[in-house]
Structures are given as C-alpha cells and as structure tokens.
Amino acid sequence: MARTAQKVDSLAREGEDMTEALAAVLEVAEEEGTVSWSDVSDDLTSGQWGRLIEKGLLVDADGEGFVLDDPEGIHEALEETDPAAVADDADEAEVEWTKWDKLAGLGAVSMIAGYSIQSVRAVVGSTIDLVLGPLEAVLPFYVVVLVLAVLTGLWSTILQDNLMDSEVMAKYQERMQDLKERREAAKERGDDAELERIQEEQMEAMGDQLGMFKAQFRPMVWIMLLTIPAFLWMYWLILDVGIGGGSSQAVLVMPLVGEVTQWQQGVVGPVQAWIVWYFLCSLSFTQLLRKALNVQTTPTTS
C-alpha cells in the first residue's frame, strides 16, 4: 500500500490529468476486471497509458489485457491525493535565502577583493591578527595552518549539516531523473505527443535547477564568511608581513614534494606551498569530521 501511494503521489506531481487518467483506468478495471487500451482510449492519451505501465500500476494479464497491480491501494491513494496540495508542497520545499544569508554572501564577496587589493587585505589581515597573532607567535607556521584547516573544516561541516536540506535536494534530483526516464521511454515508443509534453515539463523544471543551486550555495556563503578571512590572514602574513621567507619555522617536508623552505615556493605548478599545505590538511580533516559527526552532504534518494 505504501509503495502504491508513493507511485500515485509521483503521478500527481506530473499534473492533475495523470490522476484523472488513473481514475478512468481504475473505473474500467473495477467493472471489467481487466482493461485494455481500446477501453480507455477516449479518456486518456497513449502517453498517459504508457506512463501507468512504466510506473508499474498497470501490469500485463498474460495477454488478456492489463490489470491494476493494487486496485484497493490505488483507490485509497487517489482519495487522499490532492494534486493542488502536492504542488503547494513542492513550492514550500523551495529553499529561500533570509536577509542574513544575503548579507553573509555580500560580506564574503566583498572580502574576496582582498586577494588583489592590498588595502583590503591589510585591513582584514591586521584585524584577524588580533585574534590569531598570539597563536602564530608561539607555534610554527605550518602548525598554525593545520589548526586553521581543522577549525574551518569543523565550521564547514557543522554549517552543511544544519543549512543544507538534503531532502529538498533529493526531490529536485528525483524529478529531473524521472523526466529523463520518461523521455527515454517515450523515445523508444515513438510517442511524439508525450515527448512534447515532457519537453514542456522540462522547461518548467528549469526553475528547479535554480532552486537546487540556491540550496547548494546557501551554506557556502557562510563557510566563505569564515574561510576567506582566515585565508586572507595567511596571505597577508606571507605576502605583506613576509613570514616564511626562509626562516627555520617555515621549513616543512611535504608529502610527494619534499622539503619546502619558502611558503611562496611553487610546489604544484604555480600553486604555492602554503596553499597546498592548507588544502591537504583541510580536505583530510574535513572528511574525518564528516565521518565522526555522521554528516550527510549529498542528497538522499529513495
């Protein structure tokens, strides 16, 4: 019954005409026991007929027409399903940014200018130095980078766990996958009417793509709000203050690279040593934190 209800709900999301088509088939099946295309051809299109078969609601009765897989379950599901309510639920699932999300995004984008504008970099770097300066004074710089990588990784993991709605993401992906499967099936049948209808649905689904992007990017702006200042502080120390210009605390043996004597030394093409070291630490510890905290960062589909 639960599986049947899910199938009927999925059809309802495609439009009220699909539930009407199913109701027409149900009426004939309840009267005749079996149903064939000729019995319902006046009430639904060939595409709708094929869709009911694809969904598994109609099954072949050994060459004697078709029967409904779960008539009682379909009947109950149709009574409980309101296509308008389903559409409203889909609209409510869309992720909306709050004013705080927008302010965080604006702040993060503004600080990006610090990578090319020295005055912005100096303001951000010197401000962050009030907090992180004492740490840098007592620890080797490579340890400071390691600590920052762990902190930013923890921050990122917590934000993704709290701000990313994997259920909403899964709904977007399920709808796009469903459209793709229906399109392939319609092509195999040579059903031009169904293909045209699916194309219209795909055009309407373009809004879903924007919704998915908003859902994915929402935690990113808050992550950037912390990681960009931390990154700018390290950049300011190395480029403007001049730390790691060959001093003993800057010497580091990096995996697959060997000894690095200057943090501005290019180790992966033009990518400098401090950037490579930060990302190695960040990626490693972020994965460990996600496992430890059981954080799901990808959509869960059924």
pLDDT tens digit sequence for 98-157: 888 888 888 888 888 888 888 888 888 889 999 888 988 888 888 888 899 889 888 888
- 113 and 261, same domain (yes or no): yes
| Confidence (pLDDT) at 202 | 74
Residue 254: its H or E element: strand 252-254
| Confidence (pLDDT) at 2 | 56
| Confidence (pLDDT) at 44 | 79
Q: Which of 92, 108, 139 is the last residue of a domain?
A: 92
| Confidence (pLDDT) at 42 | 79
Residue with the larger pLDDT of the pair 81 and 158: 158
State the pLDDT confidence band at 251, using cuts at 50, 70 and 90.
low
Q: Please give the Cα distance from 108 to 123 (Å, whole number).
A: 14
- 283 and 221, same domain (yes or no): yes
Given a cut of 70, whether residue 261 has pLDDT beyond it is no
> Over the chain, what is the mean pLDDT?
76
Given a cut of 60, whether residue 84 has pLDDT beyond it is no
Q: Let me know if residue 193 belongs to a domain.
A: no
| 3-state class (DSSP) for residue 259 | strand
Tens digits of residue pLDDT in 34-57: 888 888 777 778 777 777 787 777
- 114 and 83, same domain (yes or no): no
- 86 and 104, same domain (yes or no): no
- 56 and 133, same domain (yes or no): no
Q: pLDDT over 90 for what percent of the chain? A: 1
- 156 and 224, same domain (yes or no): yes
Q: Report the pLDDT averaged over residues 251-276.
A: 72
Q: Let me know if residue 131 belongs to a domain.
A: yes
- 155 and 70, same domain (yes or no): no
- 103 and 88, same domain (yes or no): no
Query: What is the number of domains present in the chain?
Result: 2
Given a cut of 60, whether residue 184 has pLDDT beyond it is yes
| 3-state class (DSSP) for residue 267 | strand
Helices and strands, counts by H and E, the chain? 13, 6
Q: Which of 58, 74, 92 is the last residue of a domain?
A: 92
Given a cut of 50, whether residue 249 has pLDDT beyond it is no
- Residue range(s) defining the domain that contains residue 18: 2-92
Q: Let me know if residue 286 belongs to a domain.
A: yes
Given a cut of 80, whether residue 91 has pLDDT beyond it is no
| Confidence (pLDDT) at 252 | 64
| 3-state class (DSSP) for residue 272 | strand
- 229 and 257, same domain (yes or no): yes
Structure tokens at 216: 């994915």
Q: How far is CA 228 from the centre of its chain?
A: 22
Beta bridge partners of 259: 253
Q: Please give the Cα distance from 5 to 200 (Å, whole number).
A: 26
Torsion of CA 261, 263, 267, 268, to 10 degrees: 170
Q: Report the pLDDT averaged over residues 179-183.
A: 79
| Confidence (pLDDT) at 242 | 72
Q: How many CB atoms lie within 10 A of CB 121?
A: 20
State the pLDDT confidence band at 81, using cuts at 50, 70 and 90.
low
Given a cut of 60, whether residue 248 has pLDDT beyond it is no
- 18 and 147, same domain (yes or no): no
- 27 and 45, same domain (yes or no): yes
- 79 and 110, same domain (yes or no): no
Residue with the larger pLDDT of the pair 41 and 205: 41
Q: Please give the Cα distance from 90 to 109 (Å, whole number).
A: 31
| Confidence (pLDDT) at 85 | 44
| Confidence (pLDDT) at 90 | 46
State the pLDDT confidence band at 62, using cuts at 50, 70 and 90.
confident
